Amino acid sequence: MLDKEETININDMVLNLQEEIRSFIRSLPNVELKHDPMSEEAYFYGLRNFAHFHGPRHIDIRLSKPQQEEALRTHIALHHQYAPQAGWVSCVIETLEQAENTKLLIRQAYDTSVSLKTRLKSAK
């Protein structure tokens, strides 16, 4: 069993990893932080919610279907509980490796959002 100091250190590390991911998301061009029915901390590109937190250890990320399949196949993401049909996956952030994998998936989700918006503008 962990003692109090070890528990505090682990919690501090998780909060640092979450802040690192927040900073990464905020560094992406034209990303907006908005309240969403799914989360008070949702990140949007245009009208598309591509990532949102559920507490300090969990983030949901919206990928394309092929990206989702690859993330699940390689075990860097978990099946989303409520909306897997829309490309959502869930990630747990407790280690540096998980944080780095999560940032890769966030970048894929962001790039997909940019691509979709660009295609919509071109079709008009």
21, two tokens: 């991911």
* Per-residue pLDDT tens digits for 85-103: 889 999 999 999 999 999 9
Question: Can you tell me the distance from the alpha carbon of 41 to that of 44, in angstroms, rounded to the nearest whole number?
Answer: 10
pLDDT over 60 at 5, yes or no = no
Question: Can you tell me the distance from the alpha carbon of 87 to that of 100, in angstroms, rounded to the nearest whole number?
Answer: 20
Write a three-state SS string for the chain: CCCHHHHHHHHHHHHHHHHHHHHHHHCCCCEEEEEECCEEEEEEECCEEEEEEECCCEEEEECCHHHHHHHHHCCCCEECCCCHHHCEEEEECCCHHHHHHHHHHHHHHHHHHHHHHHHHHHHC
* Per-residue pLDDT tens digits for 31-84: 999 988 888 899 999 999 999 999 889 999 999 999 999 999 999 999 998 888
Question: Can you tell me the distance from the alpha carbon of 73 to that of 65, in angstroms, rounded to the nearest whole number?
Answer: 12
pLDDT score of 40: 86
CATH number for the domain spanning 109: value is 3.90.1150.30
Question: Can you tell me the distance from the alpha carbon of 95 to that of 31, in angstroms, rounded to the nearest whole number?
Answer: 25
Domain coverage including residue 105: 4-123
pLDDT over 70 at 10, yes or no = no
How much is the CA Rg of the chain, to the nearest whole Å?
15
pTM for this one?
0.86
The total number of structural domains in the chain stands at: 1
pLDDT score of 8: 53
Question: Can you tell me the distance from the alpha carbon of 9 to that of 121, in angstroms, rounded to the nearest whole number?
Answer: 48
